[in-house]
Amino acid sequence: MKHYLVLYLFLFFLITALNAQVPLSLPNIQESQIIIPVQINLKPIYLLAEKNVDTVFTSPNYPNDWVQVDCGTRYKYHFRRSPLQLKSSGSTMHLSFTGFYQIIGASRACVKGTALSPWTPDCSCGFKEGERKVNVNFTSVIAIQPNHQVRVTVARNQPQPVDKCTVCFWGQDITGEVMKGLVAELDAAKKAIEDSFRVVNTRPYMQEAWNKLKQVYAIPGLGYLALHPKKLHMENIYAKDDLLNISLGITATPVISFDRPPTASVPVPDISSSGNKKGFSIFLDAALNYDSLSTVMNQT
């Protein structure tokens, strides 16, 4: 009996409103916003970096040719690296490794650029006493652009020698000369890293996700849900160790209706800020026509 009473009351107010011939003024539904924290595993990126950075660096055409820094000095070197070590903090990634190098050199007497003697017998460093060590590192900064491009800026830091290298023909430390030669090779490695990561266009992937958000979902016994996404948010990027943390979100105006609404494919919008909001606030609009509403009420 209570169900019939509710139905009669509803019909009474409906007929009264129609007879009054006063247009009903409904408030505008606020936009809904959903912000979701997401973690991305960076290990695949680390493996890609390991693959793209050479494991061996040498002087040009080693071991056949020499690097001649002046009339009286020449040398050649072999350099290998340890596996890459990657650490992340904030929007910065630190890529480092330990280098192990060997050098062979010779000298001769020169005056004003003119050689006065033949080259001395070759002398070496890093062979009998073990390979000399140097610490090498790069710094990469990640930035996500509004146009869905992920940009990575790579800086090559100055290599830091752990062991000194002294050769017999000089009787003095030539570590600095070796580091100068190594820098050219490291700059080539820096370019390889930049070519791999400098600009990553995520728009095609975001377009696929956007198309799914634009789909209409059937709700059994009720009707259809359309999210009507309006904006896309991506911010609060923070990396730690092997994880990249990021806040993803959408601004939408979801609607439930008895009739299936039409769908249209539209380009994914550029990324905008959510104002650092967290969680979600959802305002749902229900567009229900009288015929369908009457059917549902009669069934109930």
Q: How high is the pLDDT of residue 18?
A: 44
Q: Are residues 194 and 212 located together in one domain of the fold?
A: no
Q: How high is the pLDDT of residue 19?
A: 47
Number of structural domains in the chain: 2
Average pLDDT over residues 2-16: 46
Q: CA 229, CA 33: separation in Å to the nearest integer?
A: 9
Would you tell me how many other CB atoms lie within 10 Å of the CB of residue 270? 13
User: Residue 11 domain-assigned?
Assistant: no
Domain around 63: 53-200
Residues 39-96 have pLDDT tens digits of: 777 777 777 778 777 888 888 888 899 888 788 888 888 889 899 888 888 888 888 8
Q: Are residues 144 and 262 located together in one domain of the fold?
A: no
Indicate the residue among 176, 200, 224 that finishes a domain.
200
Q: Are residues 192 and 59 located together in one domain of the fold?
A: yes
User: Residue 93 domain-assigned?
Assistant: yes
User: Residue 10 domain-assigned?
Assistant: no
Q: Are residues 231 and 276 located together in one domain of the fold?
A: yes
Highest mean pLDDT among 5-9, 11-15, 97-101, 144-148: 97-101
Q: Residue 135's pLDDT band (boundaries 50, 70, 90)?
A: very high
What φ, ψ does residue 228 adopt, rounded to 5°? 50, 65
CA quadruple 17, 18, 22, 24: dihedral positive or negative?
positive
Average pLDDT over residues 265-290: 76
Q: Are residues 108 and 177 located together in one domain of the fold?
A: yes
Indicate the residue among 185, 200, 215 that finishes a domain.
200
Q: CA 60, CA 150: separation in Å to the nearest integer?
A: 35
40 CB contacts (<8 Å, ≥6 apart)? 243, 244, 245, 246
Q: How high is the pLDDT of residue 36?
A: 78
What φ, ψ does residue 194 adopt, rounded to 5°? -65, -40
Q: How high is the pLDDT of residue 123?
A: 82
Q: Are residues 112 and 237 located together in one domain of the fold?
A: no
Residue 222, pLDDT above cutoff 70 = yes
Average pLDDT over residues 236-249: 80
Global pTM value = 0.61
Residue 132, pLDDT above cutoff 70 = yes
What distances in angstroms separate CA 120 from CA 107, 115, 155, 173, one per listed residue? 6, 12, 39, 18
Q: Are residues 26 and 156 located together in one domain of the fold?
A: no
pLDDT greater at residue 218 or residue 177? 218
Which residue blocks in the chain are alpha helix, DSSP H? Answer: 2-20, 43-52, 175-197, 203-213, 290-299
Q: Residue 8's pLDDT band (boundaries 50, 70, 90)?
A: very low
Q: How high is the pLDDT of residue 15?
A: 45
Mean residue pLDDT of the chain comes to 78
Q: How high is the pLDDT of residue 196?
A: 66
Q: How high is the pLDDT of residue 288?
A: 64
| Per-residue exposure over 147-176, b if at least 16 CB sit within 10 Å of its own CB, e if not | ebeeebebebeebebeeebebebeeeebbe
Cβ atoms of 234 and 34 closer than 8 Å: no
Q: Are residues 157 and 207 located together in one domain of the fold?
A: no
User: Residue 2 domain-assigned?
Assistant: no
Q: How high is the pLDDT of residue 16?
A: 44
Cβ atoms of 42 and 243 closer than 8 Å: yes
Q: CA 267, CA 210: separation in Å to the nearest integer?
A: 8
What distances in angstroms separate CA 69 from CA 42, 58, 74, 120, 127, one per listed residue? 42, 16, 6, 16, 22
